[in-house]
Amino acid sequence: MDPHLLRTYVTVARVASFSEAARELGYTQSAVSQHIAALEQDLGAPLLTRRPVAPTAAGERLLEHAAPLLLRLDAARADVVRMVGAPEHGLTLAATPTALGSRTLAALPAAGVTLRVLAREEIPAAVARGGAELGLVDGLTAPNDPLRHPDVAPLTTYGVGEEPVCVLLPETHPLARRDGLRLADLVDARWLDAPDAGLPLAHLRRANGSGGFCPALRYEGTDVRTLAALAAAGHGLTLLPRAAATGVPGAVAVPLVAPRLVHRTELVHSGSPRGAAAALVDKLLERA
Amino acid sequence: MDPHLLRTYVTVARVASFSEAARELGYTQSAVSQHIAALEQDLGAPLLTRRPVAPTAAGERLLEHAAPLLLRLDAARADVVRMVGAPEHGLTLAATPTALGSRTLAALPAAGVTLRVLAREEIPAAVARGGAELGLVDGLTAPNDPLRHPDVAPLTTYGVGEEPVCVLLPETHPLARRDGLRLADLVDARWLDAPDAGLPLAHLRRANGSGGFCPALRYEGTDVRTLAALAAAGHGLTLLPRAAATGVPGAVAVPLVAPRLVHRTELVHSGSPRGAAAALVDKLLERA
DNA sequence: AGCCCCCCATCAGTGTTGCTTATCGAAGGT
DNA sequence: ACCTTCGATAAGCAACACTGATGGGGGGCT
């Protein structure tokens, strides 16, 4: 179970080709073939069908393990190297679009910041790997409940703020005049599924304890304005933190009153931040 | 960052000796020395001080990563091998002592079961490694909230039951006549700290949102009767699920009424259980 | 059908790696 | 001051991992 073997295995599984994987990894096709054979012999079972190349049942299982494993490996090396190497000057911050409130933006230092907008699940990974010193993740929870992050590595998280959640509806929507909405009444509505820009429907399903919330349109970008425009145009409802939901032309933001959910954003970093990262952490926390 | 190097590194750090680690791993002292040197060169920093052998700051950091990493590696191999190998006949169940309610015990098949009582945090690891097919973990949460497990591997968990929580007090205790107790009133009481037998104080601190709950006596065994006897003898309070707290001679069990916490037990397994394990899972879930 | 091409498996060869044995310098105990 | 113990280093050897070449089997195109 050498990590190298695992790495070639996942690439082979991804590109569904030995030769292509070899090219990608800079090996010969022969080496890749031997890697897979070694893994299969080690585990005592075929992992891939050949022609077409596709994971077997055991292979699927291994895939589930391999990705987080390799991620953790990268995270470990990055974490140790980071605390050894010189504190770089630039500061990279990975965040979801909805996690970037005005307070956060105001706290950023004037220069030398790289802001990287990523999908929600990629942020802990990016911070762990060292692609970003700090991460801002948001999500839906009960007040004061921490978010659930994929546990990719030993990361530290702090809550940096909670905000009410609103449903964004077109002005013409029959419910647009309400003062507050109950989630249970919206189970059968048409929803936008925008896991990277808005708040994921999966959080809603979990909060509501049941299924429903079938998506009418799926938006795969990370641009909140587009998402809001989609909602205003009547393509479906979406949830946004209040600040992001107000002032959208053609749409109104109605607070969600039941269940009691908040839009919570958390700061995540690995180990002990240094330099500009540490300063930003302090700045964000002192007012939290 | 070969796992072999990592493994020798953690053993060296554990036993604080190159030579001793070499003996334990079946290497020569020279090999161990080279392993550590390779790691240090790879990461670009010393990981251990020599004479005495102790981890440096970077080494400490690496240690935090290494243990879960190696665990996941074992878990991956065990998981794949498990679904390939023949379904063994015996069934091994790992559980905390307080997770074993009468309902669970009644559901066990008549023969061929190995029951392994472990500390709370070891159970997910044991299930992941394949040391047990199934695990039963318990803990304190808000009603219907899932427990938080250390995320050692992709494991599946189901709730199998929730039960009221009681404070176990000596009969002579001034609060023993109460119908219910509030946690906030007990912050400054003397508590037993029995992380493996009872319910960990850390859960309490988290639920109560603050510190306090300083332990008067620490009990490191896994025997609930002893723990109850300690409480009855006045060495400190402890929390137990109602079933385990009732009928203790010399002690009374008073329900905890605020905050609303329940003793929740969850069934954890990895992948798809087969044979006797699958039967037990069904049996436990159908009545949940 | 026949042909060709692409893909994966296998084999032999080779450079590198990883472990062992042997030896040295340094620190601590007696 | 001696001896023991511990970790670092050097040299040698065996196993390993990768390369390049070759072979067999399918699918697609004509």
B259: its two tokens: 């905050």
Q: How many CB atoms lie within 10 A of CB A100?
A: 20
Any alpha helices (H) in A85-200, and if so which ranges? Answer: 102-107, 122-129
Q: B286 lies in a domain?
A: no
Q: B155 lies in a domain?
A: yes
Let me know how long chain B is.
288
Average pLDDT over residues A134-154: 84
List the single best residue of A9, A80, A272 to mutate versus B (max B Cβ within 10 A): A80
**C22: residue with closest CA to C1':** B30
**For chain A, how many structural domains are there in total?**
2
**Each residue's pLDDT tens digit, B199-224:** 777 777 776 666 677 777 888 888 88
Domain span including residue B251:
94-265
Q: Are residues A213 and A241 in the same domain?
A: yes
Q: B80 and A73: CB-CB below 8 Å?
A: no
Q: Are residues B72 and B175 in the same domain?
A: no
Q: Are residues A129 and A180 in the same domain?
A: yes
A137: its two tokens: 């993740």
- Residue A130 has phi, psi (to 5 degrees) of 95, 5
CATH code for the domain of A138: 3.40.190.10
For residue A100, the one-letter residue type is L
Q: B125 lies in a domain?
A: yes
What per-residue confidence (pLDDT) applies to B225? 86
Contacts of B65 in chain A (CB under 8 A): 72, 75-76, 79-80, 153-154
Which residues fall within 8 angstroms of residue A20, CB to CB, at 6 or more apart? none
Q: A271 lies in a domain?
A: no
Judged against a pLDDT cut of 70, whether residue A73 lies above it is answered with yes
Per residue in A116-141, is it b (16+ CB within 10 Å) or e — as a string?
ebbbbebbbbbbbbbbbbbbbbbbbb
User: Which stretches of A88-194 are assigned E, i.e. beta strand?
Assistant: 91-95, 113-117, 134-141, 156-170, 181-182, 191-193
Q: Coil, strand or helix: which one is A282? A: helix
Q: How far apart are CA B243 and CA B3, in angstroms?
A: 45
A67: its two tokens: 């990705």
Q: Is the dihedral of CA B269, B270, B273, B276 positive or negative?
A: negative
Please give residues of chain B from 222 to 251 whose alpha-adjacent beta carbon (CB) lies under 7 Å from any atom of strand C.
none
Looking at B83, B116, B135, the residue that finishes a domain is B83
Nearest to B268 by CA among B12, B35, B95: B95
Bases along strand C below 7 A from a protein CB: 6-12, 18-22, 27-28
Q: Are residues A128 and A257 in the same domain?
A: yes
Q: Are residues B109 and B33 in the same domain?
A: no
Q: A274 lies in a domain?
A: no
Q: Coil, strand or helix: which one is B115? A: strand
Q: Are residues A140 and A183 in the same domain?
A: yes
Task: Compare CB distances from B73 to A1, A84, A150 and report the shortest one's residue.
Answer: A1
What per-residue confidence (pLDDT) applies to B183? 81
What per-residue confidence (pLDDT) applies to B14? 92
What per-residue confidence (pLDDT) applies to B174? 84
DSSP track, A228-255 = HHHHHTTS-BEEEEHHHHTT-TTEEEEE
End-to-end CA distance of chain B, in Å?
45
Q: How far apart are CA B32 and CA B37, in angstroms?
A: 8
Q: Are residues B169 and B228 in the same domain?
A: yes
CB of A53 lies under 7 Å from some atom of strand C: yes
Contacts of B271 in chain A (CB under 8 A): 61
Which residues fall within 8 angstroms of residue A137, CB to CB, at 6 or more apart? A95, A96, A99, A120, A123, A124, A147, A149, A157, A265, A266, A268
C-alpha distances in angstroms, A219 versus A171, A236, A250?
Answer: 21, 11, 19
Looking at B83, B110, B141, the residue that finishes a domain is B83
Q: Are residues B46 and B185 in the same domain?
A: no
B153: its two tokens: 């591997």
Average pLDDT over residues A219-224: 84
Distance A17 CA to C3 C1' (A): 25
Judged against a pLDDT cut of 80, whether residue A85 lies above it is answered with no
Instruction: Tell me what percent of the residues of chain A surpass a pLDDT of 70.
Output: 97
Q: How far is A220 from chain B (nearest CA, A)?
A: 26
Please give residues of chain A from 191 to 230 whose alpha-adjacent beta carbon (CB) lies under 7 Å from any atom of strand D.
none
What per-residue confidence (pLDDT) applies to B5? 94
Q: How many CB atoms lie within 10 A of CB A109?
A: 11
Q: A275 lies in a domain?
A: no
DSSP letter at B148 equals P
Per residue in A20-42, is it b (16+ CB within 10 Å) or e — as a string?
bbbeebebeeeebbebbebbbee
Q: A150 lies in a domain?
A: yes
**Each residue's pLDDT tens digit, B14-45:** 999 998 889 889 899 999 999 999 999 888 88
Beta partners for residue B40, in sequence order: none
Q: Coil, strand or helix: which one is B235? A: coil
Looking at B52, B83, B114, the residue that finishes a domain is B83
Please give residues of chain B from 4 to 63 whose alpha-adjacent beta carbon (CB) lies under 7 Å from any atom of strand D.
17-20, 29-30, 33-34, 36-37, 50-51, 53
Measured over all CA atoms, what is the biggest interatomic distance in chain B, rounded to whole angstroms? 67
Q: Are residues B121 and B74 in the same domain?
A: no
CB of B31 lies under 7 Å from some atom of strand C: yes
Q: Which residues of A touch B (CB under 8 A)?
A: 1-3, 43-45, 57-58, 61-62, 64-66, 68-69, 72-73, 75-77, 79-81, 83-85, 144, 150-151, 153-154, 209, 271
Q: Are residues B79 and B100 in the same domain?
A: no
Per residue in B197-218, is it b (16+ CB within 10 Å) or e — as a string?
bbbbbebbeebbeeeebeeeee
Q: How far apart are CA B130 and CA B59, in angstroms?
A: 29
Q: B76 lies in a domain?
A: yes
pLDDT tens digits, chain B, 288 residues: what are they? 899 999 999 999 999 999 888 988 989 999 999 999 999 988 888 899 887 888 988 899 899 899 899 999 988 988 888 887 766 677 889 999 888 877 788 878 877 788 899 888 889 989 988 888 899 999 888 888 888 888 777 888 988 888 899 988 888 888 878 888 888 788 778 888 888 887 777 777 776 666 677 777 888 888 888 888 888 888 888 988 988 888 888 888 899 887 888 999 999 998 778 778 888 888 888 755
For residue B24, the one-letter residue type is E
B65: its two tokens: 């990563």
Judged against a pLDDT cut of 80, whether residue A181 lies above it is answered with yes
Q: Are residues A213 and A247 in the same domain?
A: yes
Place of tokens 């987080």: A68
End-to-end CA distance of chain A, in Å?
45
Q: Are residues A203 and A125 in the same domain?
A: yes
Q: A1 and B2: CB-CB below 8 Å?
A: no
CB of A34 lies under 7 Å from some atom of strand C: yes
The contacts found for B103-110 with CB under 8 angstroms, 24 or more apart, are B103/B161, B103/B287, B104/B136, B104/B160, B104/B265, B104/B284, B107/B280, B107/B283, B107/B284, B108/B280, B109/B276, B109/B279, B109/B280
Q: How many CB atoms lie within 10 A of CB B106?
A: 9
DSSP track, A90-111 = -EEEEE-GGG--HHHHHHS-SS
Q: How far apart are CA A168 and CA A249, in angstroms?
A: 11
Nearest to A243 by CA among A177, A149, A161: A161
* Cβ atoms of B245 and B158 closer than 8 Å: no
CATH code for the domain of B27: 1.10.10.10
List the single best residue of B10, B41, B80 to mutate versus A (max A Cβ within 10 A): B80
Cis amide linkage into residue B52, ω under 30° from 0:
yes
